[in-house]
Structure 1
Amino acid sequence: MNTQSLYHLVVLFEETKPRLSKSISYRSPSLPYPFIIRKPLKKTKHCNSNTSDIQGSRQFNQITVETMNISELYDIEKCEEISFYSGNPTVETTEGIIHIYKNQREVPRCDGMVTSTMLCFFSVPSHITVKDLLRFISPMRNVIEELKIVKDGTPNRYMALLKFRTPEDTYHFYDAYNSTCYSTLEQEVCQLMYVSHVEITHPSIGVAFPTKDLRELPSCPVCLERLDEPVQGILTTILCNHTFHDGCISQVEDTICPVCRYVQSPEILADSQCADCDIRENLWICLICGHVGCGRYGQKHAQLHFEETGHTFALELGKTLVWDYADDAYVHRLAVNHEDGKLVQLGPNSESGNKKLDLISMEFSAILTSQLESQRAYFESQLDLVTTQSNERLEEMESRVESALSTARAAEDKLSEIIKENGVISRKLQQATSLAQRLQKDLEEERALNKSLLINEKTWRERTEQAESEAKTAREECRELLLNLELRDKLNEIGTNEELTKDELESCEISLQPNNSQKSNRRRRRR
């Protein structure tokens, strides 16, 4: 079985405002997610210095994404109504930057077995229209599910993303079309790469930080193509480290790039000055765009240029030293001829003029490489430590927030229960208050009634006593009257019988005895 390794690309659309739809996103199910999403941090003046390997211009340009469904595109008999406001509904426009990363981790590939269903057309010339591209891929249109045409600020170039139905179809398409010409009249070669992830990011959802396995592909300052040997298939020149093939050189007026012109022309070097001030010493030229600025011993215009544009590499004029502003160290790795001081490319079998100097240089390079490697390992460990601590702090804060939320929920539940109990108690208190008021009113009425009854009782008692005294007086008078009547009758009877004389009657005394029977009768009457 034929087994080889391949590299996957990761495409990141960094937008200023969220405008692209989620349909452009793609994730390979068998490969790990290459980004770390973090919440947006507070912007500072050092925000341009990114720790990842980001190179090239950081200017936001207009990005256009045109989506084509291949199966529906070739089905001319099928009609479908698409609702949209205005313009072409399959074309999306936004503003941002397209980052293309190369995954440094190799993925083994066997015959007919791949881990992705998306391919990317690199640097398609603009004179090859979308119609020509569809005609170019028409023999295998049945295995293509979707085609996306991506255009940004790159002049005369665009990029295409192809999504296939199965991984086997992706494998066959890659083997059939990679490194083939678009037509018999074209010199341009079809450049295909496997794509593992396509993501969209913008400040509202946070910042996507690439992992250490990703390296962003830089662009040539002349032709703006991606500088990657496995992708381009073209060796970079030793003078300017650019892909100076025929198409690249034909776009510039001079025979060399601005950096090489400053290095190789002494008269230009003597008359050169900073682009922002009049300083003529300690000048640095940007290897990306050719901007000339003064160093840190002047007004630091070269460093300000890096902070504004993100161009990391600068060459000191008059010397062969290359400075990396991102790593804050020298990064030159080119050989220098001892006779004329020009940059040369040494092959594996070439011999130097002085073996001892070459050995010393090799030893110094080895020591420097080991030291840089140890520093890289140290700073990567420090970065991993900071990342781990940040993750731990984030998890701790999330746990604290979760516990606080649970406590707040429990407090809210308890508060709701207390409010319910308070309502029940309030209703009971209201009922008890109304009952107490009613009882108080009844008590006052009873007290008033008792008071009136007592007054009536006293009145009737007085009346009773008065009536009894009056009755007693009446009885005495009645008794006396009865006695008088009886005495009169007796006297009349005696006078009739002539038993007593008139003188005897006048001189006699009559005493009356109380009648016991009458007293008992009176008592019975009282009872």
Structure 2
Amino acid sequence: MDPVDSGEPSSLSSMAKTLPFSSGNPRVEETRGVMHLFADEVASSTSQLPVGRKPLVCVLGVPNHMTYADFCRFCGSFIQHMLEMRIVRIDEMEDRYSVLIRFDSQESTDNFYKHFHGQQFSSLEAEACNVLFMIDVQYTGSIERGHASLVNSAEQPTCPVCLERLDQDASGTLTTICNHSFHCSCISKWTDSSCPVCRYYQQQPEKSICFVCQTSENLWICIICGFVGCGRYKDGHAIMHWKETQHCYSLDVETQRVWDYVGDNYIHRLIQSKTDGKPVELNLPCPHAGNDCGSCDCNADPGISEAVLDSKVGAIVNEYNELLSSQLENQRLYYESLLQEVNDETEREKSETIERAVKLKSQKIQAKIDNCAKEKKFLDDIHENLVKNQDIWKAKFQEIEEREKKILRLMKLKDDKICDLEEQVRVLMLYLESGSTAEQLSTSDETDGGNTYP
């Protein structure tokens, strides 16, 4: 990233904010610098973009869980317009990194700002992309003098992935936080968060804390199981761990020295004592071998000394093997006890879960039984009412049948009477017809008797 001339107008200086940054592997060499950015209020207070802006932006506060490939995919639609990207650390932001980006034109820079400023990195997270225009970038570290800018370098470096020249006119380049440069298309295929060259991780290492009290001072690590506890000058959780597990060797985080709780001293080379069976420090051979020394067996015959030394070495090897076997046996018993505790806890949780499930199932079954009993009672009541109604309707039906029978008898009597009346009427009509016929005959006879014939 090219340093920009710092002779900006005073009006721009009044609207800018300064952030110190750093890059590089701290164990090798580190680059430090200062970036001058337009303040957030400049772009948010007005609808227009800041006056005097340049094709340089900074993406602040990118979460560390986003790898280089993730960030390249996030801004993939603008990769072809990016000439250079550089990953840096902001001193004020922990567990985050920032990206300095230089574009090929001001239009591409403005479009990038409008598209990504305020946009979430992922739909599953609340982290938003914060893009600010840069006024100036100034480097103060020694690495920057050696690797000033990819454009200003006399000889263009090559990409470690594809071994092609890092020509910014053809494609953009990305400089990782450990100051190694790659093509954006090459680094986008790297799924790990480490550097492909030096394997330096962009995440800052987490500070160790006591597993019990969460303190970060006077820490000791058990070299057998890895338990981290505070020392005796804090709350003494490391000593409590030794008393509980008999893991007697603990490493001081600051000095990297090993402490033996059994011998109550620092140790370097351990052997097992034949007298009490405790691990003790191995005494080195006398440095005055060949000289007059009355405190050791320096004056002994060299062959005898060599044989004694060989026997001692064999004894030490045996003692080391016994010590290792005893420690492994203790470790096995310890972890078997832990495994037994876990199994007991699992069985207890299973039994409790089964009991809860059975209880819940019995409650549901009892509720169904109660509902069925209520329904049975309701149906019994309905059945009883129906039986009563059946008797009533039977009585009514019999009454209706008797009434119909009576009506039928009455209708039969009525029909018989009607038949008799019809017969009488018929006889009467015959009688009347016969009487009228006889009267007509007598009338005709009388008429015939009074007539005179010529």
TM-score by length of 1: 0.27
Structure with higher RCO (Cα < 8 A, 6+ apart)? 1
- In our comparison, the structure showing a higher alpha carbon Rg is 1
